[in-house]
Structure 1
């Protein structure tokens, strides 16, 4: 394995690990806020208990998200010095502003956790709102650097030097809004389904314990409502993403759909395997004109095929599988949320069938897989460029060796972090069971 591929594997593994905690760090605070608002409106203490317990969980997750994010920042400088030279001169603003977003999140998280019983109801809502705001701002700001990689603006490179720098033009690059929206919406969706997954599991486990079952059922319905809203919003935003790719990264869209020939009424290929030699997608289900509509809101929109671009600049064609998997997960989550919420609220059924419960349990891991598929698709689909049509990934990578040893060490460390996080979660909530909090709540009434 060459050094460039090792560098990509190392940084990709770091981001693949970090994004789990970062996504939950954005999504769960919104769930806490929703539970806190419902408690203040209904005075149902079950929602207060949810908010407190989810806050403890997010505090544990942040204990891993912060160091893993720091590692990612250090690796950017070590693995991609050519890229960071441009970043330092052109788009350092997101990194600088993100510090204040993180401070906002950390400050009001501390206030919410340690001063909860001394805060008024309005101040509790304000505190957790600012936690949620700081979390999503951090995610959007950092992801903006990724958006800049796909649509680099605000500078020129002349004779190897970075000139004509406009930091704000780089900050508000063409990919900023669509990328920021997708990151926020999918994080909220994932946080909701992570809670839904746990709530459904607990409902099965505690089906004979009425009070615990009732609390988990409320958590599940809240999660399905929020998860359904943001999964639908993510789908709408995904349509915007396709149009963005059509305008700004056409070879990425063509590779995602295995489209080799420029054409109007371009079909959308569902499933199948991209055959590079024969320039077709084998075994796919094709929807005539659907890709053209996705790209331009009209069936006769002309979509550029891969044949228009030099083959050495094609993205890896396996991104078709990633794209289909990401979209498939999103559709499944939309269906699960609609079916579950309708079953309870429209059909007025008290419980859920067992098959549906296992679907809810699977929704959290599926949502996380969707995030991973999407992130890998976004980064791999930009290849071979680190700055689209300006700087190739190979030209930006470090020339130092021994990356194989670093990869092994960091991979082992991430496994350790994952195991420790699971154990801390398990033992904390085992020592602080829900039953004891429900008993304390009864005593206080």
Structure 2
């Protein structure tokens, strides 16, 4: 492996690990907010217990997300100095504002945890709203740097110089709103289905009609409603994302669909793999004219193929598989909740068969996997550029060598962190059962978020 590949692999591994905690760290506060709203409306203690337990999990995940995010920031400076030089001149605002977003999130989470029983209900809601806003703002601001990489704006590049710099124009680059919408919606999908996966797993172990069964059943239904709704919104946003790729990064769209020849009435290739030699997507299911319609809302929209670009500008062709994996999982996350609702409403079934429960358990990991596919697709599909058509990845990389040792050490760190976070969560929830938390909530003299629990 050459040093450039090791640098990309090291940073990619860091982001692949960090994005799990960052995404759940955005989706879980929203779930906590919804549970708190339902409690204030219904006074059903099950919902406030859900909020408490999810808050504890959120604190553990945040404890890992913060250091891994810090590692990612340090690696950006050390591994990609050329890139950070441009960002420092043209696009500093997201990093600067993100500090305040995190401050808001941490401050109001502290208020909610330590003063929930001492403040008015509207203040509890307000504190959680600020937590959720701070979390999603942090994600959007950092993701905006990625949006800028794909659609750079706010400066003029001439003879290696960055001139007429406008930081706000760079901030509100052409793909800002599409990218911000996609990261927010997909994070809420992940948060909901991770909660639903845990609830389905717990239901599988409980006797029908027991107190814990009913508790986890409520959590499952809540997560399925929210997850299905936001999965549908994510799919609609994906349509806008395809149109922005058609306009701003046509070779990325062409590689995602394995399209080599420029054409109108272009087909949409589902499944299969891209064969560079034969210039086709083998074993794919093609939907005639669909890609043209997705790209421009018209079947006669001309979609540019890869052969219209120099081959050195082609993204890796395996991004077709990543794109299909992301879209395929997203489709399942819409259909599976609909199947559950149909099972209950149409067939009038009150219990769930084990295969259905196991399917719901798998929805959590699948949602996380879709995020991983989407992130790798977004970044790898921009190659060979770190800033599209301005700065190549090779030009922005560090000149340091012998990075393999660091790569191995960081992988070891992530393995230890991963094992530790799972062990801590298992220990806490085994020590504090649902019945224990419900009992504490029913005792007016015991604070719901007592640090002794």
Which TM-score bucket, shorter chain as reference?
A: over 0.9
Distance 2:243 2:166 in 1: 26
What are the ranges of 5 or more consecutive residues in structure 2 without an aligned counterpart? Answer: 446-453
Residue in structure 2 matched with residue 104 of structure 1 by the alignment: 104
Does structure 1 retain, via aligned residues, the 8 Å contact 2:143–2:180? yes
Which residue of 2 is the match for residue 30 of structure 1?
Answer: 30
Aligned 1:26-425 pairs, distance under 5 A: 26-208=26-208, 210-345=210-345, 347-425=347-425
Superposition deviation, residue 255 in structure 1: 0.2
Q: What CA distance in whole angstroms lies between the structure 2 residues aligned with 1:429 and 1:250? A: 48
Compute the displacement of 1:159 (Å).
Answer: 2.7
Q: Which moved more, 1:423-432 or 1:387-396?
A: 423-432
Contact 2:267–2:291 (8 Å) recurs in 1: yes
SS at match of 2:117: helix
Q: Work out the CA distance in 2 between the residues paired with 1:359 and 1:275.
A: 33
For residues 216-275 of structure 1, give each alpha carbon's deviation from its aligned partner in whole angstroms, at most 9, with x where no partner exists. 000000000000100000000001100010000000000000000000110111111111
Q: How many positions carry a matched residue from both structures?
A: 445
Structure 1 unmatched runs, 5+: none
1:427 alignment counterpart: 427
Tell me what 1:8 maps to: 8
CA shift for structure 1 position 208: 5.0
Q: Any idea what the Cα deviations from partners look like across 1:270-299, whole Å, max 9, x if unmatched?
A: 111111011111111111101111111111
Distance 1:442 1:116 in 2: 15
Q: Cα distance, 1:69 vs. partner?
A: 0.4
Superposed CA deviations along residues 324-362 of structure 1, whole A, max 9, x for unmatched, are: 000000001100111113333455431222221111101
State the alpha-carbon separation in 2 of the partners of residues 358 and 431 from structure 1: 25
Deviations 1:11-52 (A, max 9, x none): 110000000000000001110011000011111100010001
SS at match of 1:286: strand
C-alpha separation in 2, matches of 1:342 and 1:46: 25
Normalising to structure 2: TM-score of the pair? 0.96
Instruction: Give per-residue Cα distances to partners, 1:345-397, cap 9 Å, x unaligned.
Output: 45543122222111110100000000000000000000000010111100100
Q: Which range is displaced more, 153-162 or 170-179?
A: 153-162
Matches of 1:82 and 1:256, distance apart in 2: 28
Asked if structure 2 preserves the Cα contact closer than 8 Å seen for 1:225 and 1:341, the reply is no
The whole-number CA distance in structure 1 between the counterparts of 2:46 and 2:203 is 15
Structure 1 residue runs of 4 or more that deviate by more than 6 Å after TM superposition: none
Cα distance between partner residues in 2 of 1:204 and 1:91 = 49
Larger mean Cα displacement after TM superposition, 156-165 or 195-204: 156-165
Taking the aligned partners of 2:74 and 2:351, their CA distance within structure 1 comes to: 49
For the 8 Å contact 2:208–2:351, the answer to whether it is kept is no
| In structure 2, distance between residues paired with 1:196 and 1:295 | 34
Quote the RMSD (CA, aligned, Å): 1.2
Alpha carbons 2:196, 2:224 under 8 Å: kept: yes
TM-score (norm 1): 0.98
Deviations 1:177-198 (A, max 9, x none): 0000000000000000000000
